[in-house]
Amino acid sequence: MAEQSSNPLRRPLPDGIIPEQVVARTENRWLMIMVAMLLVMMAIIVVTGIMGALHPSSNVELIDPTTLHLQGEFVESNLGTAAEPDGSVTVRLIATQYAFVPQCVEVPARVPVKFRLTSADVTHGFLLPDTNVNTMVVPGFVAEVRTRFAKEGEYAMPCHEYCGLGHHAMWAHVRVVPQERFANPTLLERRTCATQ
Ligand code: CUA
């Protein structure tokens, strides 16, 4: 190098080193692209949330997960489908590693169905594909979901919240039967699908 500036920062750059201004311009462009991506993603969340009516659970009900089997609404004899005086039904289930109790419940078609679930241990998920039913089941809380089944059929009910090594095997079923066949369910029929 024949002629060198006295200020080391003003020296001509050796080959392959990109000047500071070019680096700054490129970084600015990437920054703007990233901010734009963030804005697009936030917009997608807001728009799909509003269009799909996604919302957090509207009721907050607390329950002691350690005494579920001893007292209250979720004792074993009270699980399954219960007919209400107004013609609707309420289904109570407990999610536990790695099963839902009961394993299969029957509900009548075309009447309001209210699912009430809680967990005895960790967080599980409650999902009925092709319906509006999709919620987390968090220990200490009662999850409530209301729906109505338009036609008869069997719905698989996978746990969709990772809950441990047996998560993939955690399934139950909801069987939707004609209203007439649901007129007077026995205690057994309320808690299994065995008799139909
Ligand atoms: Cu229960 Cu995953």
Write out pLDDT tens, residues 123-163. Answer: 999 999 888 899 999 999 999 999 999 989 999 999 999 99
Query: What pLDDT does residue 13 have?
Result: 72
pLDDT band at 55 (very low <50, low <70, confident <90, very high): low
Does pLDDT of 54 surpass 70? no
pTM: 0.71
Between the CA of 8 and the centroid of ligand 1 the distance, in Å, is 63
What number does the ligand 1 atom closest to the CA of 95 have? 1
Between the CA of 176 and the centroid of ligand 1 the distance, in Å, is 23
Strand partners, 91: 81, 115
- Strand-by-strand arrangement of the 104-108 sheet: 104-108, 171-177, 153-158
In sequence order, which ranges of the chain are alpha helices (DSSP H)? 20-51, 187-191
Query: What pLDDT does residue 195 have?
Result: 54
What number does the ligand 1 atom closest to the CA of 168 have? 2
Ligand 1 in reach of 161 Cβ (< 6 A): yes
Sign for the pseudo-dihedral over CA of 189, 69, 61, 138: negative
Does pLDDT of 50 surpass 80? yes
How many whole angstroms separate alpha carbon 14 and alpha carbon 195?
85
pLDDT band at 1 (very low <50, low <70, confident <90, very high): very low
Between the CA of 136 and the centroid of ligand 1 the distance, in Å, is 10
122: left (phi over 0), alpha (psi -120 to 50) or beta: beta
Protein residue with least CA distance to atom 1, ligand 1: 124
